[in-house]
Structure 1
Amino acid sequence: MSLIGALNTSSLAMLAQGQGLQTVSNNIANVNTISYKREETLFQTLLYAQRAGTNASERLAVRAVDRRSVMAQGLIQSTGRADDLAIDGDGFFVVSRNFGSTATPDVFFTRDGALQQRYVDVGNGAQESYYITADGKYLLGWAADENGEFSTSDSLSSLVPLRSFALDELEGTATTEALMAANIPSTTEIGESVTLQGGIYDTSYNSQTMSSVWTKVAANIWTVQAQVTNGTVTGPPTLPVVTFTGDGKVLTPQDPVQVSITWDDGTTSTIAVDLTDMEQYADETVIYRTAQNGNETGRLYDESFDKNGVLWGSYTNGRNRALYKVAVAQFVAPDSLEAVSGNLFRATEGAGEMSIRDLEQEAQGTTILVGNLESSNVDMADEFTRMMMVQKAYTMASTNFRTVDEMIETAVSMKR
């Protein structure tokens, strides 16, 4: 190898080790960056050879090659903040730069789940609140339909930005099913009555009271008359006769009784009343529980994510409703994703096929931890060790460069 070749090799070595030190510096600087994925500089040997006849010359050098440890998960740390999400397992959140845009160039992938709710101007003077990442990108997922159900798809085009407080009012529901669980005294005299009451909701979602008057007509045999406030029971006027066994359990009817109601506003309801949990013992009248499936109109007062990434709304009428579901993207070779920043990535051909997962349907060990964030996967002890190794290598390369330079000067002075 000529002196010029040695000089060039030393120069390439210093450049490569300098890049290695820059990588170490970046890792140390981002040790507290959420979901930062450490970068590592590897060194490759360069061999240039030229052979002609019996003459041969070879020149060895080195170049730096960077790679990022995207697959290595950082430590999950609790924040206690409801809008912070951490993926425990494989996958990435899907985020978009522009409002409502799911075009491939505008879609990115990250494990940084430090979300915030921000109002965005959506045109015509209207503003809506969305879940935004720390760098201002929209979190993407699937929207629930009017029944709170999801139709998920393994396609970016099916994803939409997640709104916060999107459905601030949940329409009420009229009662169609009810249950009465109570005890009526077996010591009641024949011809005497016991009255039980429970709440229901009419077709305007207003709370009403349904009363049932139990009249004993024989041993273990009762007739039941239904009544409602602000309405009339039109059928059946008298419910089917209820009979009990000798040990106080309902013998008949075993099927729900269909009660038809005409409300004072002219609307009608049909309620299936389950009486199979009624009892007849020699105690006083006791209502154990009543249940029905109606609700008044409710206002949204809280939102929360669950382990499957479903955003639930909690309403003042006691109901919970699914609003959105977070999409999680997976790649065959995530370490080959293009790093836009230390924790934001873009899909590449080298990363392989992308799949969009619905964690509720395809859990496979991956869950979302609410109130947590994934820290960087930087190991400070390892970085300081690499720093010392790179520093030593750089020092030796610079010493070699200086020595070669002195040898060249000596050769030049001899010529003079």
Structure 2
Amino acid sequence: MGIFGAMNTAVAGLRAQSFALENISGNISNVQTTGYKRMETSFSELVPSSGQANKNPSGSVYANARQTVNVQGDIGRADLATFMAISGDGFFSVRKPTGYVDNGVVLGDKQLFTRRGDFEKDNQGYLVNGGGYYLMGQALDPQTGNPVGNNVTPIRITQDLIPARATTEVTLRANLPATPSTANYDPEVPDSELLPSGIVDTSVVSSGVVAADDSSDFLSHSISGGAITVRDANGQPVNLQMRWAKTANADPSATPPVEATWNLFFLSNSTATGTDPQWTRVDKDYTFDNAGTLTSADTKVTISGLTVNGVNVGDLTLKHGKGGMTQYANSNGVVDMTELKQNGYAAGELLDVAINDSGRVVASYSNGQTFDLYEIPLASFNAPNQLERLDGGAYAATAASGAPLLGANGSIMGSALESSNTDIADEFTKLIVTQQAYSAGTRIVTTSNEMMQEALNMKR
């Protein structure tokens, strides 16, 4: 290699260091860009072959860029509930807007990917990140939480009211006292805690009712079973008041043995008078053995056409579950309620939207209900560093990266953001080395030029 070769090699080196400086500059500029992946510079040697190992001249150099998409940045907590980060492998699926029609956004058909998770709700309810990309997700059935269909769609949260839901189930789990402390109970009088048989009238309905005239006697021979607000089909609140009455004590010595029996009543008409029914008995006998274990097989009971004070709630199921009803001794003689809840609710308006750590879009409503509206899928690639970089921290699949694979191993963290993976101290170190290498390259050019001048001056 002669003087001209040395000069050409030096110029190639200057070009390579300039390229490295460009990458360093971009990395430092994006040190605070959410989800940014730094660009590294790879240098490769160019060696001209002479055919003889001991006469191969020193080669030139060229530089190319190497992505670090697979290198995760630090994850920190964020204030907004719609911000999220990916811990581990994976990308969010996004679309880029191509225009607007009638004030509505038109999204492109090309599937793009990003790790930038600073998504916020825009004026149309879409989740859009700081790069201007729209988040895609799998729609869910709000009631069941199961996916609706198989396709991903742009995530959009509307301000529509969520409709009311009538109560269909009441979970009731309790311990009934072995001896209820009714107002009429006298320890000296046997069976004074039991409900007399004449109070319940079965001529009106087969399950039995208590007339308003007999209400005082009924209350003095029963104990409170708690109260809960249920909802009709329009979301109207209905106060469901319950009472328990014991109708038989256990007698294990009898033939056949007699079990303890209880009945549950609810207040069906609080304004009833005279012979009109005021309390209605649930059509089930709750029987317990001498050890206080429920022996009736049913773990739930259905009240057909529940109506309270003229409001029809509809069919309602009392769910007790296995072991949910017991009759153990209680010195206070009252019902110990372990669980009492229902599944109805009034109509509600949207209050807030958040991303949970399961990767689901959760909407909170004014009626106290929360619903999973979308599930955010994560895509992965066999060669993520071969993706095509786009503006705004997005990527497009290429032949080298392979097609996107659904079901990445990473997990979504709500209220979090992934920061740039640029290490500012490392970039400054590379900046110093690049500057020194560039300066050394300019010296080679200067020296080559001086040697050429000396060669030209030999003729003088």
Shorter-chain TM-score tier: 0.7 to 0.9
CA-atom RMSD, angstroms? Answer: 3.2
1:5, 1:59 within 8 Å by CA — same for their partners in 2? no
Displacement of 1:374: 1.2
- The 1:225–1:265 alpha-carbon spacing in structure 2 relative to 1, beyond 3 Å, is closer
Residue 209 of structure 1 pairs with residue 249 of structure 2: no
Q: Which amino acid aligns with 1:7?
A: M
Residue 117 of structure 1 pairs with residue 121 of structure 2: yes
Write the distance in 1 (CA, Å) between the matches of 2:106 and 2:152. 9
SS in 2 for 1:63: strand
SS in 2 for 1:74: coil
Displacement of 1:148: 4.6
- The 1:9–1:218 alpha-carbon spacing in structure 2 relative to 1, beyond 3 Å, is closer
Write the distance in 2 (CA, Å) between the matches of 1:139 and 1:255. 45
Q: Which amino acid aligns with 1:271?
A: L
- The 1:241–1:370 alpha-carbon spacing in structure 2 relative to 1, beyond 3 Å, is closer
Q: Which amino acid aligns with 2:359?
A: G
SS in 2 for 1:250: coil
Q: Which residue of 1 aligns with 2:223?
A: 194
Residue 370 of structure 1 pairs with residue 376 of structure 2: no
Displacement of 1:218: 2.9
Q: Which amino acid aligns with 2:317?
A: A
Q: Which residue of 2 aligns with 1:228?
A: 268
2:116, 2:129 within 8 Å by CA — same for their partners in 1? yes
Displacement of 1:209: 2.8
Q: Which residue of 2 aligns with 1:135?
A: 131
- The 1:320–1:7 alpha-carbon spacing in structure 2 relative to 1, beyond 3 Å, is same
Write the distance in 1 (CA, Å) between the matches of 2:268 and 2:310. 14
Residue 171 of structure 1 pairs with residue 221 of structure 2: no
Residue 298 of structure 1 pairs with residue 297 of structure 2: no
1:205, 1:295 within 8 Å by CA — same for their partners in 2? yes
Q: Which residue of 1 aligns with 2:201?
A: none
Q: Which amino acid aligns with 2:109?
A: A
1:226, 1:239 within 8 Å by CA — same for their partners in 2? no
Displacement of 1:402: 1.0
Displacement of 1:312: 1.0
Q: Which residue of 2 aligns with 1:259?
A: 303
1:102, 1:160 within 8 Å by CA — same for their partners in 2? no
Residue by residue over 1:1-32, the C-alpha shift from the partner in whole angstroms, topping out at 9 and shown as x without a partner, is 23222221111111111111221222122222
Write the distance in 1 (CA, Å) between the matches of 2:439 and 2:173. 86
Displacement of 1:321: 1.0
SS in 2 for 1:353: coil
Q: Which amino acid aligns with 2:327?
A: E
Residue 405 of structure 1 pairs with residue 449 of structure 2: yes
Q: Which residue of 1 aligns with 2:210?
A: none
SS in 1 for 2:295: strand
Q: Which residue of 1 aligns with 2:213?
A: none
Write the distance in 2 (CA, Å) between the matches of 1:147 and 1:351. 39
Write the distance in 1 (CA, Å) between the matches of 2:319 and 2:112. 53
Q: From the two aligned structures, give the one with the greater strand fraction.
A: 1
Out of 248, 252, 272, which is 2:317 matched to? 272
Q: Which residue of 2 aligns with 1:125?
A: none
Displacement of 1:299: 2.5
Displacement of 1:44: 1.2
Write the distance in 2 (CA, Å) between the matches of 1:60 and 1:253. 89
SS in 1 for 2:325: coil
Q: Which residue of 1 aligns with 2:39?
A: 39
TM-score, length-scaled by structure 1: 0.83
Count of residues in correspondence between the two structures: 392
Displacement of 1:58: 5.9
Displacement of 1:72: 0.8
What are structure 2's unaligned runs of at least 5 residues? 98-104, 186-191, 197-220, 250-259
Residue by residue over 1:330-365, the C-alpha shift from the partner in whole angstroms, topping out at 9 and shown as x without a partner, is 1001011112248332211111231123xxxx7x4x
Write the distance in 2 (CA, Å) between the matches of 1:17 and 1:278. 81
Write the distance in 1 (CA, Å) between the matches of 2:170 and 2:283. 16
Q: Which residue of 1 aligns with 2:13?
A: 13
Deviates most, 303-312 or 379-388? 379-388
Q: Which residue of 1 aligns with 2:363?
A: 313
2:167, 2:313 within 8 Å by CA — same for their partners in 1? no
Q: Which amino acid aligns with 1:103?
A: D
- The 1:341–1:224 alpha-carbon spacing in structure 2 relative to 1, beyond 3 Å, is closer
Q: Which amino acid aligns with 2:261?
A: I
Q: Which amino acid aligns with 1:272?
A: T
Write the distance in 2 (CA, Å) between the matches of 1:383 and 1:213. 75
What are structure 1's unaligned runs of at least 5 residues? 120-127
**Percent of pairs identical after alignment?**
28
Displacement of 1:112: 1.2
Displacement of 1:238: 5.5
Write the distance in 1 (CA, Å) between the matches of 2:76 and 2:243. 59
Q: Which residue of 2 aligns with 1:352?
A: 402
